[in-house]
Structure 1
Amino acid sequence: MMKFFNAILLFFSLILAAQTKSEVYKIKYDKFENGKKTGGNTEIYVYNQMVFLSKPTDNIQQYIDLKNNYNVSTIKDGNTVFKKIIPFDSLPKPKFDNDNQIILGYKCKHARFSYFSNTIDVWFTEQSSVKGTPNSSYLPNKNALVLQLVFNGNYALTASAVNKENKYIPQLNYDDKTQEVSASEFEEIAINSRYKVVKIFDNEILNFDPNRIIPKESELETGKVYHFSKGSVVLKKIKITPELKNSAAVFAKLRCMSNGDAYDRTGSVFIIPSKKQGETTSLLDAYLYGIEKLPVYRDKKNSQYQGIVKENEYSPPIEILSFFTPFGVNYFNDKRKINNYNWAKDVVYKEEVSSLIPTDEDEIWIGVFIGNYDSGGHKISLELDCYPEMSKNDIIPKNNYIAPLFSTVNTLEMSGQNYGSLFANDTLKVNFEITADVSNLQLLYTTTGHGGWDGGDEFVPRMNKILIDGKEMFKIIPWRTDCATYRLSNPASGNFPDGLSSSDLSRSNWCPGTLTPPYIIPLPTLSKGKHLLEVVIEQGPDYGSSSNHWNISGVLVGQSKGK
């Protein structure tokens, strides 16, 4: 039996040795994890001194050109095909030893690569006229046929068959006229091709302009940019595209720089929810016609706060990014030069907002607010990056449940909306009702403290508590001690005699030039029906004419069942 097996292997080796340039060979590699076969496999083709590593349907095509001693990768972007070329002599270099093993009847040599802290063991033969490897980075030499790769000792590709193909000839999708780009440019094109970008705002200026004219409601159009509240708010109505509706993840990406304002300012990216059944007022009405359109919340001292909680006729905004501008990044870079301080050119904020995209809407209003009284203000760009499921078989329609409950972020500050300073004498109370069956119900709670004098709530830790139906669900002292990390985004920040800068100081859950992500509060036992939510904050006392205040927002999120 052994003689018969050896004869078969000898015959198989002779077949490979007889290959001509016009013959096509397919090499199949089985996949193993921790020594166990996974059931998956990889196939490559060898034809006319070219190794074809990709499926014809792959967005990125990869080739090994054994004739010209380089790897080629191509990608189509629009109507243009781009290619990058990596010469063999720039690939990772292996180390060889005297280990060997038999694979498919071949005595294979051993090479070891070390790359990006990974160890790759390669077993290869030089006896076959078929040459190639299933991974273009790991080819010991141009005369090698790699029959096994082992990554970090536990993941392996092992050749199980080498067969001559009679009916299939693989095709190149490039030629000498194909546009060549550098490896870094190719990587940029490849990454950008994997997800969709929904652009919202591009270099819009948010400033203080008391002469700005408010557009008429009858003139509002989808896709057009509008400025409100004396220039401090920019709004746009966008369509909920299939990418926004079905993506595995959606990230909001905001780019910001100073256009003349030197100070750190409160910023918010928000969605204005569509009016639900029975609701008569939205935040958009206040932008168009004034804050008098908003329902009023009164604290124990009868102070008025416009549009801060869920009411029968009104829903507050859905805050998707809470951010703070840095001290004058970009505009003041050359006005505050310090040796060895390489100021950032802008600040980019990026956060996942998948659970906050209203997937049951056709269109939504999305806006950005930066509170400032500067004529130059700030310049911003905003996009939503939509990342698909890894496999089309994984696509599951999302039915986001989104219920905004409160927001004291006064995006109408320049139109007279009050700051959230009620917590010194009162508890914020919100009556709400859950009318749908919701899985994975959570409260997203965002909180930042303000009062910018020594001893104000910006610089003093204060307890926050959330109660639902009288039961304490969450408590925390929100505090950031890492603000000095962002010094190079704050050129206009003042330097103190003790060596610190204003932007270095620890704060109540925010830093100049950073995001403040929400706390996630699981509510697995909260049932359908009516409930009472309370927010308790140990707000400090006022100082003369200066007052403390808290920017907080709360949104219930989950997945609606039965749709």
Structure 2
Amino acid sequence: MKNYLFLFLFTWTFAYGAVAKAKEKSGTIKYKVVVNGEERSRYGYTELHYHQNVVKIQKVRSGNAQQIPTTPDEATYIDLTQEKIFDLAILNTGNRFHTASAIADLPEVEITEETQEILGYTCKKATLLLFSNRIDLWFTTETGLRGTPYPQGGLTEGVVLKMVRNGSYELVADAIEFIKPKKMPALLPENLGEEVDKVQYRARIVDNYVTTVNVFDREQISWGNEINNPEGDVSGETYHFAGGTVILKKVKLPEVTDDYSVFAKIVQYSNGDAYDRTGSVFMIPTDKKLSFLEGLKNGAKSLPKYLDTQGKEYQGVIVTDEYTPALELVRFFTPFGIRHFNEKRKVAEVNWEDSTVYKQDISYLLPELQGEAWIGAFIGNYDKGGHILSLDLKYYPGSSVVREQTKKYWVQPIFNTLNLMEMAGQEYGTMFDGDSLKVTFNVPEGVKNVRLQYISTGHGGWGGGDEFNQKSNELFIDGQKVFTHIPWRSDCAAFRKYNPASGNFWNGISSSDLSRSGWCPGSATNPVTIPLFDMEAGTHQLQVAIPLGQREGSSFSAWNISGVLVGEYE
């Protein structure tokens, strides 16, 4: 009897073990993407291959969609023998590189007693927290395969058939194909290319997607130095105007589809100027008979005149039938003397920054930021050292799939009172003294969902000046008020570490700490979006009214405002 019992227990244990942990095999698992309970086939799927103690994980795009040329081939390999993980990328140029890490460095998982059946296999649940995300892994040892479609989430016994992130995003095994080992090639490539660390690996992948146009590289913007501009309109050469306070370059910008995002990145530091200054990066539209180029080359008086009610002239500030004003990309403000004055003034508990970096999303201007364009930068100053500025335009694809090129968006600059040629006699924006700025514009047929992107900053640097006083900006379309806005920044003290030359008052406040009309020394000003969705095609008039502060002796206030209309084609 005892022998029969022993034989039964031995047979049951062997059979159970065979089910619980199958003999090692080779094969492929396909995982679908499920978001909030719904399958998302447009995300493609993930494939896991297992053969001879090596796991390969690779994402497969959906359908027959063509990938953009810069999309790299990426795969992750888990070598269970070497106990290493390799991430491999092959660029469209053929260049390949990889990063390696140890399996021992993966996060540990906690095994629970919960089970779930997936594709007929009993799976156990493992959990972990990863960067504050809850990860649930359902794994089984019954398939004879090993690995996980989500290696950053740690390894388990057997193979993971489902990964759930924060209860909403899932990778779920959809099919398993077992392959005879003799028919499956070795998974780990012999040539992994150059080895780099994880930071450089990811940076190379990102850089491969991003198109960067370096417009200016450490160019000097200053006053009073000798200027020798190239003859004619030469692409790629830097021109200096307005005594050297405006730099300009003709560049070739990429032709991209509407799903791209574009950012302007500006890096600036003082080369001798101690003061906070108004800065602007702009583009010059050349779609009409006259452009702002005329003013830069031939003087401000060559630009179309705008008259206020007192008969004062302002040059090139509004759109006309024959002229489009400069299109402002970014309004920024230099801090007090960053870098140049860092060693000349020490303040307790403040470590000065080396430069200011401004990076702003200007994707709403994408239709204008393609093809050949004149891009400029202005920093108002009267210093021979002035400032050093670099500018990159960065284009980020919205998808790795090739999109059809469509003309979806409409862009029209309509006013800009920032006197970019301040140091060459262009008038300050003082037309608001008992008056309003008026501009007539046209919306083409087929354009809808129009909005105004509005940038406004007040100036007048004394206690009674508009730099330090809140003023209401009222906007009217065809006589009807559509928007009221008070530009104001109360967070200027956060920029103290960029302002070594700022004056320090007896009470512990620095000049750079003071709140201002829509700007701070060391900041960029965000445009305000004003919806004009009911605007119909045809001719309209816009008015901007601001209660301009009164003069005090030689001190006066002015407003730098710029506006561009953006719409969508039906």
Does 1:251 find its partner at 2:263? yes
The 8 Å contact of residues 439 and 559 in structure 1, kept in 2 or not, is answered as yes
Stretch moving more, 295-304 or 508-517: 295-304
1:88 to 72, 94, 103: 103
Give the 3-state SS of the residue equivalent to 2:77 in structure 1. strand
Does 1:157 find its partner at 2:171? yes
For residues 455-485 of structure 1, give each alpha carbon's deviation from its aligned partner in whole angstroms, at most 9, with x where no partner exists: 2100000111111111111111111111111
CA 254–25 in structure 1, closer or farther in 2 if over 3 Å, else same: same
- Describe how 1:65-464 pairs up with structure 2 within 5 A: 65-76=79-90, 80-141=95-156, 143-165=157-179, 169=185, 171-173=187-189, 175=191, 178-216=193-231, 219-243=232-256, 246-276=258-288, 279=289, 281-359=290-368, 362-392=371-401, 394-464=403-473
2:77 to 63, 66, 81: 63
* C-alpha separation in 2, matches of 1:497 and 1:30: 66
Q: Which residue of 2 aligns with 1:541?
A: 550
Question: In the TM superposition, what is the alpha-carbon distance from 1:160 to its structure 2 partner?
Answer: 3.8
Give the 3-state SS of the residue equivalent to 1:188 in structure 2. helix
Q: Which residue of 1 aligns with 2:8?
A: none
CA 332–340 in structure 1, closer or farther in 2 if over 3 Å, else same: same
* C-alpha separation in 2, matches of 1:31 and 1:214: 57
Q: Which residue of 2 aligns with 1:3?
A: none
* C-alpha separation in 1, matches of 2:319 and 2:40: 52
Q: Which runs of 5+ in 2 are unaligned?
A: 1-14, 61-70
- Describe how 1:482-497 pairs up with structure 2 within 5 A: 482-497=491-506
Give the 3-state SS of the residue equivalent to 2:27 in structure 1. strand
For residues 307-360 of structure 1, give each alpha carbon's deviation from its aligned partner in whole angstroms, at most 9, with x where no partner exists: 111223221111111111111122222222334312222111112222224459
Identity %: 42
* C-alpha separation in 1, matches of 2:262 and 2:308: 37
Give the 3-state SS of the residue equivalent to 2:235 in structure 1. coil
- TM-score where L is the length of structure 1: 0.90
The 8 Å contact of residues 110 and 123 in structure 1, kept in 2 or not, is answered as yes
* C-alpha separation in 2, matches of 1:156 and 1:361: 39
For residues 431-476 of structure 1, give each alpha carbon's deviation from its aligned partner in whole angstroms, at most 9, with x where no partner exists: 2222342122111111100000012100000111111111111111
Give the 3-state SS of the residue equivalent to 1:286 in structure 2. helix
Give the 3-state SS of the residue equivalent to 2:515 in structure 1. coil
* C-alpha separation in 1, matches of 2:208 and 2:138: 34
AA partner of residue 54 (structure 1)? Q
* C-alpha separation in 1, matches of 2:116 and 2:568: 54
The 8 Å contact of residues 442 and 523 in structure 1, kept in 2 or not, is answered as yes
- TM-score where L is the length of structure 2: 0.88
For residues 225-279 of structure 1, give each alpha carbon's deviation from its aligned partner in whole angstroms, at most 9, with x where no partner exists: 2111111111111224223x55521111111111111111101111110132xx3
Give the 3-state SS of the residue equivalent to 2:29 in structure 1. strand
Q: Which residue of 1 aligns with 2:27?
A: 25
For residues 58-104 of structure 1, give each alpha carbon's deviation from its aligned partner in whole angstroms, at most 9, with x where no partner exists: 53321111111121112245554221112112111212233334444
CA 83–361 in structure 1, closer or farther in 2 if over 3 Å, else same: closer
AA partner of residue 51 (structure 2)? Y
Q: Which residue of 2 aligns with 1:50?
A: 54
The 8 Å contact of residues 301 and 425 in structure 1, kept in 2 or not, is answered as no
* C-alpha separation in 2, matches of 1:173 and 1:381: 42
AA partner of residue 32 (structure 1)? V
Give the 3-state SS of the residue equivalent to 1:256 in structure 2. strand
* C-alpha separation in 2, matches of 1:298 and 1:80: 60
Q: Which residue of 2 aligns with 1:5?
A: none
The count of residues paired between Structure 1 and Structure 2 equals 540
Q: Which residue of 1 aligns with 2:477?
A: 468
Question: In the TM superposition, what is the alpha-carbon distance from 1:395 to its structure 2 partner?
Answer: 4.5
Q: Which runs of 5+ in 1 are unaligned?
A: 1-9
Q: Which residue of 1 aligns with 2:3?
A: none
